[in-house]
Amino acid sequence: MQEFKIADQTYTSRLLIGTAGYPSFHIMTEAIAASGAEIATVSMRRVKFTDTSGENLFALLRERGMTILPNTAGCFTAKDAILTANLAREALETSLIKLEVIGDEQTLFPDVEQLLSAAETLVKDGFTVLPYCNDDPITCKKLENIGCAAVMPLGAPIGSGMGIRNPYNIQIIRDLVQVPLIVDAGVGTASDAAIAMELGCDGVLLNTAVAKAHRPVLMAEAMKKAVEAGRAAFLAGRIPRKLYATASSPQTGMIE
């Protein structure tokens, strides 16, 4: 299986996992381990840096050698996202940032204008920017041109579990951009992750599908296998779709 590279860092797993919404800290740690993920995203506006309960998320992720990907979830303006990114760089000593600038509280769709503005500023400031965006090929191409290290279009609204609602746009984005393409948001089950990878995505980022599953650890394991299988299928190359049957056995040399 080909290695997965973001900026100058190389990974073996193409599954990125979130750390929010699990039934308990213990289940979260087990699920992350079962997923095989090497990158974990953490909301800078929702996680305590000083936790006296002994459940220090950042310490745990570092002990496991995982890459911490701070995100700007909860930001509704470029200004807030830029501030949050700078706080993350100072607190965690990383230039990696998952950039989210939300435009609507109900759908949680990105505000494209504010997203592009924030991305441009952060790239100029030396950040490695991974932007959450709409499944819009033009927006993705603009983000690549700005200098983002990847593009992360949604498969469906955050937390909806609706799967890949517009596979054709994902395919167009794959053709347009050269940076890694990571589906972010909307994955509900393992088949959704496999479909994303079969479309040519370089990775899948998910959270709710595992955290809110009846058995999060088992779902994390399923997601790991789905991403691996989907990538293998993409590299293998599927047969063309046909309206009519084609016999799989040769027609010549048949016994009369």
Residue 82 pairs with which residues in a beta bridge?
none
Q: Which of 113, 120, 143, 141 is nearest to 131 (CA)?
A: 143
- Report the 10 Å Cβ neighbour count for 150: 24
Longest dimension (CA), the chain: 82
Q: Active-site residues: which are they?
A: 98
Q: At CB < 8 A and 24+ separation, what contacts does 109-115 make?
A: 109/134, 109/154, 109/157, 110/134, 110/154, 111/76, 111/77, 112/136, 112/139, 114/76, 114/77, 114/78, 114/81, 115/78, 115/139, 115/143
Whole-Å CA distances, 130 to 1, 221, 223, 227: 23, 25, 21, 19
